[in-house]
């Protein structure tokens, strides 16, 4: 039972354009959402997060949108740069879980930025 789903295994985007990565979740207890970026042979690196009390969080070129009623979140990268080519994981946690913020991950989307 996949509680966090990333239905696009891969995405190719022209340099300078917007990249949009999508994520859906099924567990209504999730109240904190994160995006991680992963390069080969490295561990995931935190990118941006959003609490369920918000519907948007922005950090430089990265914006995460949360639609709680649809149980959907998306990551927008604009403008896309070649260094953004990586695997992106959506993750969720129950923030009120007495400090055990174990993460539930999606299966990842491989983003390729075309120069």
Partner 1 sequence: GAGVSQSPRYKVAKRGQDVALRCDPISGHVSLFWYQQALGQGPEFLTYFQNEAQLDKSGLPSDRFFAERPEGSVSTLKIQRTQQEDSAVYLCASSLAPGLAGGGKAHEQFFGPGTRLTVL
3 sits near partner 1 (criterion: CB under 8 A): no
The single-letter DSSP state of residue 95 is: T
Q: How far apart are CA 25 and CA 89, in angstroms?
A: 13
CB of 51 to partner 1, least distance (A): 4
Binding mask 24-63 for partner 1 (x = CB under 8 A): --------x---x----xxxxxx--x-x-xx---------
* DSSP string of 23-78, one letter each residue: EEE--TT--EEEEEEE-TTS--EEEEEEETT-SEEEETTEEEEEETTTTEEEEEES
**Near partner 1 in 5-24, by CB under 8 A:** 6
| Interface with partner 1 (CB under 8 A), residue from 28, 60, 102, 115 | 102
Tokens of 101: 């913020």
The contact set with partner 1 (CB under 8 A) reads 4, 6, 32, 36, 41-46, 49, 51, 53-54, 89, 91, 93, 95, 98-108
């Amino acid at each position: 039972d996949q509680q966090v789903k990333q239905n696009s295994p891969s995405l190719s985007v022209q340099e300078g354009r917007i990249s949009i990565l999508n994520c859906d979740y099924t567990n209504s207890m999730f109240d904190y959402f994160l995006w991680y970026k992963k390069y080969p042979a490295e561990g995931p690196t935190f990118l941006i997060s959003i609490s369920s009390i918000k519907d948007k969080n922005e950090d430089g070129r990265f914006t995460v949108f949360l639609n709680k009623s649809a149980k959907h979140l998306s990551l927008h990268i604009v403008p896309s740069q070649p260094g953004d080519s990586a695997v992106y994981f959506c993750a969720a946690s129950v923030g009120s879980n007495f400090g055990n913020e174990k993460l539930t991950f999606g299966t990842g989307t491989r983003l390729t930025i075309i120069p």
